[in-house]
């Protein structure tokens, strides 16, 4: 470990959690960071439309994975969590960008991205939009695994769902914390209420309506409110996206308060488009802002253009095998 007085600035990574209501500018903020960095953008919401409005110099550095849950046969799937689990556990994450799905050996003739997250660095940002959508997908998957109908589940039925979902969400947060690049995670607000039973009353005699509220705190929405309260420890900085009192300025607010999670390297509220751009946050912590981000091609991204993939030869009938064909052989089924 280097001494901190000689630690290279490349090691100064910002892991930013942005919490705020919908349509307040969080997606635009994350996308605009691509003016100075390469951005690998996992879109589980509707970020594509917002990103399309960004300047060309930003859009050319954004590599977007459309990862949200979908509706198939009248049922919502849990595609988002499945994709992120694949991304988190594979040395190479292989994505069929032509059809917006995981690549397989059958995807010859399609454009395929081979992504190696471990090779990302301070020139790059991983964006997760949003944690809320990923949590919804996690809950759906865990309910399915437990045989629980979320629309009609009882409290006792939900206990194993919450437990499984919490463990899965925590493992994803650990992945996010350990990524060797900058991170922006977008989240939405929830409220944690700490309650205690009335003094002198037995637990068995106390109803939920009798509980006394000790304090409340605004938190990011997660698989459970206790986990939302613990989420900041996985990030270097936690900010709230807000509209200024004048109604014209969109701000990031890092000010520490008793009634909400917040803080990190900063303790102020400033314009997110001028004073608190992501590049300026990186500069403030002593990190490196690349004027022109290094090309990720050959470093963490390999794009196999459509038409260059070759259909693998099948085994012949005499028992011998065909020669290996360069292309998509070896991709996950």
Per-residue pLDDT of the chain (333 residues; tens, 9 = 90+): 455 555 577 789 999 999 999 999 999 999 999 999 999 999 999 899 999 999 999 999 999 999 999 987 778 899 999 999 999 999 999 999 999 999 988 877 889 999 999 999 999 999 999 999 999 999 999 999 999 998 899 989 999 999 999 999 999 999 999 999 999 999 999 999 988 777 767 666 667 677 778 889 999 999 999 999 999 999 999 999 999 888 889 999 999 999 999 999 999 999 999 999 999 999 999 999 987 777 899 899 999 988 766 554 434 433 444 333 333 333 333
Residue-level pLDDT at 328? 33
List the chain domain ranges. 4-304
Residue-level pLDDT at 198? 75
Residue-level pLDDT at 321? 42
The CATH class for the domain spanning 4-304 reads alpha beta
pTM: 0.88
Residue-level pLDDT at 311? 53
CA 195, CA 214: separation in Å to the nearest integer? 5
Residue-level pLDDT at 204? 66
Query: ∠ CA(168), CA(88), CA(307), 5° rounding?
Result: 140
Helix ranges (DSSP H) in the chain: 26-32, 47-51, 56-59, 79-89, 131-146, 155-178, 225-230, 278-284
CA 236, CA 226: separation in Å to the nearest integer? 19
């Amino acid at each position: 470990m280097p001494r901190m007085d000689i630690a290279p600035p490349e090691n100064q990574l910002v892991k930013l959690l942005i919490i705020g209501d919908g349509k307040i500018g969080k997606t635009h903020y994350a996308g605009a960071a691509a003016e100075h960095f390469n951005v690998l953008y996992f879109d589980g919401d509707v970020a594509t439309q917002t990103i399309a409005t960004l300047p060309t110099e930003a859009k050319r550095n954004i590599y977007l994975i459309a990862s949200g849950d979908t509706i198939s046969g009248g049922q919502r799937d849990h595609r988002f969590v499945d994709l992120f689990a694949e991304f988190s556990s594979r040395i190479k994450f292989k994505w069929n960008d032509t059809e917006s799905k995981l690549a397989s050996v059958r995807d010859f003739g399609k454009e395929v991205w081979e992504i190696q997250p471990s090779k990302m660095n301070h020139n790059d940002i991983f964006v997760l939009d949003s944690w809320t959508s990923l949590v919804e997908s996690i809950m759906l998957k865990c309910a399915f695994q437990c045989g629980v109908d979320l629309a009609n589940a009882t409290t006792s039925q939900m206990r194993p769902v919450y437990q499984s979902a919490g463990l899965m969400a925590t493992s994803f947060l650990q992945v996010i914390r350990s990524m060797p690049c900058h991170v922006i995670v977008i989240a939405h607000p929830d409220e944690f209420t700490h309650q205690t039973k009335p003094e002198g009353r037995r637990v068995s005699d106390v109803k939920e309506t009798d509980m006394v509220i000790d304090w409340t705190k605004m938190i990011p929405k997660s698989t459970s409110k206790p986990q939302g309260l613990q989420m900041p420890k996985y990030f270097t900085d936690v900010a709230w996206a807000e509209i200024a009192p004048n109604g014209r300025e969109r701000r990031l607010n890092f000010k520490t308060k008793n009634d909400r999670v917040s803080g990190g390297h900063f303790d102020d509220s400033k314009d997110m488009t001028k004073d608190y751009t992501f590049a300026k946050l990186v500069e403030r912590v002593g990190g490196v802002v690349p004027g022109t981000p290094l090309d990720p091609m050959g470093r963490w991204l390999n794009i196999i253009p459509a038409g260059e993939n070759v259909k693998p030869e099948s085994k012949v009938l005499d028992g011998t095998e065909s020669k290996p064909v360069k292309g998509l052989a070896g991709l996950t089924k």
